[in-house]
Structure formats: structure tokens, C-alpha cells
Amino acid sequence: MNPPSPAQPAQQPRASLPAAPSFGRALLALGLGGFGIGTGEFVIMGLLPDAARDLGISIPTAGHLISAYALGVVVGAPVLAVLGARMPRRALLVALMAFFALGNFASAAAPGYLSMMLMRLLTGLPHGTYFGVAALVAAQLAPAGQRARAVGYVMLGLTIATLAGVPIAAGLGQWLGWRAAFALVGAIGVAAALLVQRWIPDIPAGAGASPWRELGALRRKQVWLTLGIGAIGFGGMFAVFSYVKPTLMELAGLPEHAVPFVLALFGVGMVLGNLVGSRLADKALMPTICGLLVWSGVVLGLFSLTAYNVWLAAINVMLIGTNVAIGPALQIRLMDVAGDAQTLAAALNHSAFNLANALGAWLGGVTIAAGLGWASTGWVGLLLALAGLVIFGISWAQMQRGGTAAAHARRGARP
């Protein structure tokens, strides 16, 4: 049987829907896993000086622990998605979350810098596959017309982590030592694994699932184009946010004690963007992706103008946080164009976002180092959003051509 054309996306077979309260518990279990992963990914950023002092290294060297985790995400998403292709969804989610919890407990006990680097790399491995499989499960269990909303609720755990989980874990780390923060994240991972086992229905892997079938996603142009939108078009947010603290302190005179307030506004924006973006994606997926790329370019470009005023800049940072709205939309798009290679495509979405993180932060640093000023990161963000729009345009044009060709074929086949 030929794969579906991009104009007619494949639909996953739906599991028998649980009653509404059970569906809510399923989302809570999946979201708690996302909350734990988000807290574990970002908490080290607030504890770098403490970790560097205890491990006997410099703060810049300790920053490599962040890069090690990101590398684990990029590598682990495709590898674990392919290896777990035949596993029932619930069992795979429990295994991934248990792996994540174990990695955080091991990070808390790491005796030195090299062992800590290895633990952060290993802990990042299940990140992308967990979110990809959790998104598939949420969309499969969702009522009709609410797939993106269900995926958004799963990813909401990640955004709430930036607003609440990271400050709580960082505070615990400063009180009891930085290792306690990783122990807390490990405990959240254990709780999430238990709830997933208890509240997620036993959903088997798709009929005929195999590693080779999952790798078939890599032969689909629309999969690569969708990943390109995320890896490039989403990079602008990181170009700005990676340097938001020194930018506002240098240009707007933001006092250092007010930085957490601005970061909290960014977290609020992420939560709002996730909720609104997923609802819009359920109504009109492709127009939502296009509109969010335009919105991203506008608010990122504005940052280069508002960075000189504390209040305007703070509001602008919150608006930049709403750019995460594109996450659920791209996740659903990947499910639609991946055919029967759902798991790998869904997991690769988070590899793309981590590449966006690396690309945006690097390009922002390049412009600052070139003497273009702290505010230049906003223009970098605008250009990356425009590049994402170009890729979207290519994807849209190819989709239209595929739909036209399919229509002609159907007409030609009529007697």
C-alpha cells in the first residue's frame, strides 16, 4: 500500500477512549513527566557556580554540563524511538521515565566532573523520545478535534517547569546543596513513572511496527521540512533569551535582583503560548504554524527596539515566551506527515528544538562578539523566523502540488 500523500495525512488508530476523568488523569501523568524533564534540564543553569565549586572546575567549564544534556537529547531521540518501536506505549513511557529518574539520582551522586558529564549526557537520552511518545498517546486518547490541545497539555508540564519547578529545585539546591536538586528531579521522575503505569491505558505499538519502518520517516520530505521549521524558525527565541540578562542589565539598567521577575514573565508567556497555540492548531493547523512564525518575527524584532526600556522590555520578553506555541502545532504536523513512522518523527521534534537552542544561542553570540551590540539578538531572531517562513512556504507549496496530483490521479481513475 502506498503511503498517504502530504495533503491527506495519516491518522493513528485510536485507542478506546477512557471516560473523561480517566483522560484527565492520563494527561496529568504525562504532564508530570514533562514537568520533571523540564525541571531537570534547566535547573543546572541556576546552580552552575555551586556545581563548579564542588567539582573543582570553572563556571564556563561547568556550562559544558548543559551542552552534554542537550547532546543527549539530540542523539537519544532518534535512537531510542527506533529501538522502542515495537514496545507497547505505556511500557516504553515507564522505561524512559525510569531511565531519566535513574540518571538524575546518578547525577546527584557523581563524584567528579567527567562522571557528571557522562551522567548528564545519559540523562538527556530519553528526553525527546518521552515527549514524542507522550504526544502520540495524548493525541490518540484525545476527543475528536482536540489532538493539538492534548499535546499542548503534555508540553505544558515543560513550560510550568520553567515557571515553578526550576525555582523550587534551585532553591532546594542552594539550601541543601546542588546535588539535592537532582535528587528531587529523580523523585519526580519516579512519581511520573508510577502514575503513567497506573493511569495510562495499555496501548500496543502499531501493527507491523519495527525499527526499519520508523526509519522510513527519514525518506519523507515533509518530515524534514517540518523539522527544519522547528530547528531554524524557532531558534530566534533562544538567540534573545540566552543573553536576556546581560542585555537588559547593560541597555535598560535592569538591577540584578529584578532579573528573576523578568524570567518569571518569560515563563508566564510560555504557559499562555502553549495553551493558546494548541487551541489554534486544533482549529487550523497550517495557518497557525504560519501565523506563529510571523508573530515570532514581530516580537523578536521588537526586542531590538524595546531593550532600552525596562518596562517595555519586560513585556516584550513575556511575548517572546509565547513563541513556544509553535511546539504542539509542529508536533501534530509531524504526526500527520510521518505516515506509519510516527514514533521517530514525533521524537525528532525535540531534537529539532534543541538544535534551535544551539543555533540561536550561537548566532546571538556571534553578533554580540562582532560588535553589533546586545540588542542585535532581536534582529537575529527576526531573520531566523523569516527563514522558518521560507521553509514553511516550501512545505506548503509541496503539499499543494501533492494534493493537486492526487486529485488528478483520482479523476483519471474514474471510469
Residue 263's pLDDT is what? 81
Per-residue pLDDT, averaged over 73-80, amounts to: 89
pLDDT, one tens digit per residue, over 356-406 is 888 888 888 888 888 999 999 999 999 999 999 999 999 999 988 876 544
Q: Indicate if 151 and 91 belong to the same structural domain.
A: yes
Q: Is pLDDT at 167 greater than 70 in this prediction?
A: yes
Q: Is pLDDT at 331 greater than 60 in this prediction?
A: yes
Q: Indicate if 242 and 298 belong to the same structural domain.
A: yes
Q: Indicate if 108 and 196 belong to the same structural domain.
A: yes
Per-residue pLDDT, averaged over 151-166, amounts to: 85
**Spatial distance between the Cα atoms of 77 and 65, rounded to a whole number of angstroms:** 19
Q: Indicate if 103 and 47 belong to the same structural domain.
A: yes
Q: Identify which of 219, 239, 242 has the alpha carbon closest to the alpha carbon of residue 45.
A: 242
Q: Indicate if 382 and 259 belong to the same structural domain.
A: yes
Q: Indicate if 57 and 205 belong to the same structural domain.
A: yes
Number of structural domains in the chain? 2
Look at residue 5 and tell me if it is in a domain.
Answer: no
Residue 209's pLDDT is what? 63
pLDDT-derived band at 210 (thresholds 50, 70, 90) equals: low
Q: Indicate if 197 and 275 belong to the same structural domain.
A: no
Helix (H, G, I), strand (E, B) or coil at 206: coil
Residue with cell 476527543: 143
Look at residue 2 and tell me if it is in a domain.
Answer: no
Look at residue 286 and tell me if it is in a domain.
Answer: yes
Look at residue 9 and tell me if it is in a domain.
Answer: no
Q: Indicate if 374 and 398 belong to the same structural domain.
A: yes
Q: Is pLDDT at 407 greater than 70 in this prediction?
A: no
Are the CB atoms for 264 and 398 separated by under 8 Å? Answer: no
Q: Indicate if 153 and 223 belong to the same structural domain.
A: no
Q: Indicate if 151 and 230 belong to the same structural domain.
A: no
Instruction: Give the C-alpha distances (Å, rounded to integers) separating 365 from 143, 242, 311.
Output: 44, 9, 24
CATH of the domain at 94: 1.20.1250.20
| Conformational region of residue 145, where left means phi above 0, alpha means psi within -120 to 50, and beta covers everything else | left
Angle formed at CA 152 by CA 394 and CA 131, multiple of 5 degrees = 85
Instruction: Render 227-255 in DSSP notation, one character per residue.
Output: HHIIIIITHHHHHHHTTHHHHHHHHS---
Per-residue pLDDT, averaged over 163-191, amounts to: 88
Provide the total of helices (H) and of strands (E) in the chain, helices listed first.
19, 0
Mean pLDDT computed over every residue of the chain:
86
Q: Indicate if 221 and 86 belong to the same structural domain.
A: no
Residue at which a domain ends, from 192, 209, 226: 209
Residue at which a domain ends, from 209, 243, 267: 209
Q: Is pLDDT at 3 greater than 50 in this prediction?
A: no
Q: What's the pTM value of the predicted model, to 2 decimals?
A: 0.79
Look at residue 21 and tell me if it is in a domain.
Answer: yes
Look at residue 349 and tell me if it is in a domain.
Answer: yes
| Residue range(s) defining the domain that contains residue 92 | 17-209
Q: Is pLDDT at 194 greater than 50 in this prediction?
A: yes
Q: Is pLDDT at 282 greater than 60 in this prediction?
A: yes
Q: Which range (67-76, 320-329, 381-390) has the least confidence? A: 67-76
Q: Is pLDDT at 339 greater than 50 in this prediction?
A: yes
